[in-house]
Amino acid sequence: MKKLITLVITLAMIASLFALPSAALTEAEITGAKFTVLQQSINGYSYTADDVLFAGKYCMRGMAISQDGKYMFGGFLNPNGSSAIEMFETATGKIVSGIQYIQSENNKSSYPKGLATDDRGYLYAGLAYNPNNTQADLAIYTYADGLKLVSHTTVKTTSPDIKTGVNGVAVEKVNGTYYAYIVVNYDVDYLIRVNVNDPANPVLDSAFGEGGVIDLQKEPYSLKEANYLDVDTDGTIYLGCQTQSDRVLMILSADGTMIQAQIPHPTAYGVALWGDYIFVSTQKTGNIGVYNKYSYQPVGTLAISTDNILLPITRDDILINVGASSICNVAVINDILFLGDQAGDANGCDQIFAVGLTDAAAKTVASWSEAIGARLAVAYPEKTEAPETTKAPETEPVTEVPETEPATEPATEAPETQAPAPAHTEAPTTEAPKTEGGCGGMIAGAAVLVTLLGAAVVFKKKD
């Protein structure tokens, strides 16, 4: 009997190692989720014109969160020259740094399409060569004191006549080694694994595929398009993609050679793992499918709409509830699900949403929202109308002095009374035009001239 009891206790202890960090998600919890906006920008302006580094940027395709949850990163693709990575403080929503990679061959900024972080404090960016041909690159940055380039490596070369881009990037420590996984797409579809144990000297992992590269257009994958991905701690790869016949979440073995499963999902795009669950975004919508990681069965659908969005501040001159456009990226950090919403054009809103998956995580998100609201209320006080100008009081007619009185000096006219200064003055030529629709009163038209120096242009915003 004692042996049996000991066995039961031992099995229970082993099972506890695989338990979820919280209670299992229910369909009711999924359908009742509320999504908090932590970041909202339009055409380069975050909240308002006072929060901007790279004017004119839009189309936030890449998104990543630091492993401690302190920072959010957005990769903006605007093809008109403002492609950049921006770094936001999660607890305040404030822009704290930004960077562009400037190509020496043509002085254009590369497209930062896929972003990921690791637990050592590095940001990884999959860079598509501008104008989407010739090569795919990986840039690695530190960010403890603003974004700084550590290394830049070309992971795949093609040719000028082959359309070449980058989609997802994921980083995972597998069997003691840090690997970066990069999806290269468009006319080609590759999955590339890079050993990044030394971020200053990343190298292709020769044990993965053919010299570190798997051609996903070949059998057994037969892909038309590879999108974004996540990688489990055992190396299992979860890839959103389109096959020749379907749109699926494809689950690959750690070495990438075997397809373990395929889960049909409409426009499977961003992917994130959490406990027993897989979150899969549906591009060009606000929907995120939730699946069981072991049975592959659907658990429910998270659907972002104007009815379940929470704003840190209810002022439409700063933020406005515009719903969700296209959830391209999902990430789970510290039991918080982050969602990256890509605006379609310069007039749309790029946004980062968050929802806590546990009670403690929900409280953290609520505290961030409260802090963001407080900062915005102080940073952008409500404009008040200047009081009506009052005319100077009319002077009383001068009464003639009787001859018997000593003569007095002629009465002088009362000076004109100055109207009180308005409570809020606008500098005459500095206010940018406001956009029609989208993001309320956020400003979209001002130009910021940036002198590009060297291979990387770095900005660090100060209060």
Which CATH number is 305's domain given?
2.130.10.10
pLDDT for res 389: 54
| Minimum mean pLDDT range among 205-209, 229-233, 388-392, 442-446 | 442-446
pLDDT tens string 271-282: 999 999 999 999
pLDDT for res 426: 30
Question: In the predicted model, is pLDDT for residue 123 greater than 80?
Answer: yes
Assigned domain for 1 exists:
no
Assigned domain for 409 exists:
no
Assigned domain for 11 exists:
no
Closest by Cα among 124, 93, 7, 68 to 350: 93
pLDDT for res 431: 34
Assigned domain for 285 exists:
yes
Please give the residue that has the higher pLDDT: either 408 or 177.
Answer: 177
Q: Per the structure block, which two tokens stand in for 227? A: 């999108």
Assigned domain for 292 exists:
yes
Which range in 34-48, 108-122, 405-419 is most confidently predicted, on average pLDDT?
Answer: 108-122
Closest by Cα among 152, 148, 145 to 180: 152
Closest by Cα among 460, 462, 457, 463 to 83: 457
pLDDT confidence of 415, banded at 50, 70, 90?
Answer: very low
Assigned domain for 430 exists:
no
Assigned domain for 389 exists:
no
* Domains contained in the chain, number: 1
Assigned domain for 297 exists:
yes
Q: Is 335 left (phi over 0), alpha (psi -120 to 50) or beta?
A: left
Residue in the block written with tokens 């770094």: 87
**Structural domain for 80, as ranges:** 31-379
End-to-end CA distance of the chain: 68
